């Protein structure tokens, strides 16, 4: 690495301060590479990982500002101090239940929209901007399995949709990443031929790579799809993680908005707000005898 520990810590703190949400180690790595602070090498990534562990252990960096989104936790049930404590919590929950009402803002829209992303680690960054639009985010973690597409997507969710479905797809720009979008469309055509499903690749594209001067990686020759890819794009490929998180969010927001009729959306949102206000009042005034 070209910088010492203290310099990297300060550079990392500056990067983290530019975002209102936590970043992953890989996102920080790409920002440091783009800034010329460290080389784009596996050894540099490993060294950065060790340094940022030390920085968090020493409280030099706020450990809540760096996330590991690749590992989930299976939680146990919530516990209560006593039955009375549970009843009190239940009453509070009931009286505030009106604020939990949300209308289907997409009911009056021409399309059903979802965001599909190759990497689970980026799903939370995307969900932060897709959430306000009530759009489902589907991390596929590489090639999607039969169960994930057919059972979870088609059978449990999309089969109930009675309008054109648009899946906004976000993947690496590499031999497999490009083919994943094609594969997704082929398999939806096969598993749901009675539904109108279009898979739209939003990122990464070669134009986005050039626009943001993204850091490249060497193309893996062991990938059976590499020959075709190299012939068209050369011996370099790019990860979705390399795009600045705020730019990624802008791409998501823009792609979603392109499928929204603003007047219908605003009318539905206004109705929802009125219904929420009425429900809040209705639930708050209920006397519970338990």
Interval 176-204: pLDDT, tens? 999 999 999 999 999 998 999 999 999 99
CA distance 26 to 71: 14
- For position 113, what pLDDT does the model report? 98
Paired tokens of 190? 């096969």
Which residue has 């986005």 as its token pair? 208
**The dihedral of CA 214, 233, 206, 20: what is its sign?**
negative
pLDDT confidence band for 31 (50 / 70 / 90): very high
Question: Nearest CA to 238 among 118, 126, 151, 115?
Answer: 118
CA distance 175 to 167: 20
User: pTM for the whole thing?
Assistant: 0.84
pLDDT at residue 77 tops 80: no
CA distance 289 to 91: 10
Q: How far is CA 239 from the centre of its chain?
A: 15
- For position 71, what pLDDT does the model report? 66
Top-confidence residue, 120 or 258: 258
CA distance 14 to 202: 29
pLDDT confidence band for 170 (50 / 70 / 90): very high
Which residue has 């979802």 as its token pair? 114
pLDDT confidence band for 72 (50 / 70 / 90): low
- Spell out the residues 6+ positions from residue 95 whose beta carbon is closer than 8 angstroms to its own: 283, 284, 286
Q: What average pLDDT does range 73-77 have in this prediction?
A: 72
Q: Read off the pLDDT of residues 232-285 as tens digits, 9 standing for 90 and up.
A: 999 999 999 999 999 999 999 999 999 999 999 999 999 999 999 999 999 988
Give, for 236, the enclosing helix (H) or strand (E): strand 236-237
82 vs 88, 89, 287, CA distance in Å? Answer: 10, 11, 22
Least confident of 21-30, 66-75, 186-195, 225-234: 66-75
For the sheet containing 197-203, what is the strand order?
Answer: 136-139, 112-117, 165-170, 197-203
> Contact at 8 Å (CB) between 188 and 136?
no
Q: Is the peptide bond before 143 cis (omega within 30 degrees of 0)?
A: no
Top-confidence residue, 142 or 134: 134
């Amino acid at each position: 690495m070209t910088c010492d520990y203290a310099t990297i810590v300060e550079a990392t703190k500056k990067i983290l301060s530019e975002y209102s949400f936590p970043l992953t180690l890989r996102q920080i790595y790409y920002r440091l590479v783009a800034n010329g602070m460290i080389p784009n090498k596996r050894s540099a990534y490993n060294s950065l990982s060790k340094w940022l562990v030390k920085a968090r252990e020493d409280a030099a960096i706020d450990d809540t500002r760096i996330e590991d989104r690749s590992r989930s936790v299976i939680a146990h049930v919530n516990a209560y101090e006593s039955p009375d404590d549970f009843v009190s919590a239940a009453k509070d929950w009931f009286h505030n239940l009106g604020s939990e009402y949300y209308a289907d803002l997409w009911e009056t829209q021409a399309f059903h929209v979802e965001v599909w992303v190759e990497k689970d680690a980026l799903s939370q960054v995307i969900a932060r901007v897709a959430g306000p639009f009530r759009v489902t985010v589907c991390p596929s973690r590489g090639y999607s399995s039969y169960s994930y597409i057919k059972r979870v997507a088609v059978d449990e969710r999309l089969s109930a949709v009675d309008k054109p479905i648009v899946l906004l797809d976000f993947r690496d720009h590499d031999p497999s990443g490009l083919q994943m979008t094609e594969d997704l469309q082929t398999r939806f055509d096969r598993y749901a031929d009675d539904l109108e499903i279009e898979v739209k690749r939003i990122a990464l594209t070669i134009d986005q790579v050039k626009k943001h001067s993204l850091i490249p990686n060497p193309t893996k020759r062991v990938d059976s799809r590499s020959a075709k890819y190299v012939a068209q794009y050369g011996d370099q490929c790019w990860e979705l993680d390399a795009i600045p998180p705020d730019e990624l969010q802008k791409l998501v927001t823009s792609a979603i908005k392109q499928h929204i009729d603003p007047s219908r959306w605003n009318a539905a949102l206004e109705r929802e707000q009125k219904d929420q206000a009425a429900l809040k009042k209705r639930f708050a005034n209920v006397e519970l005898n338990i």
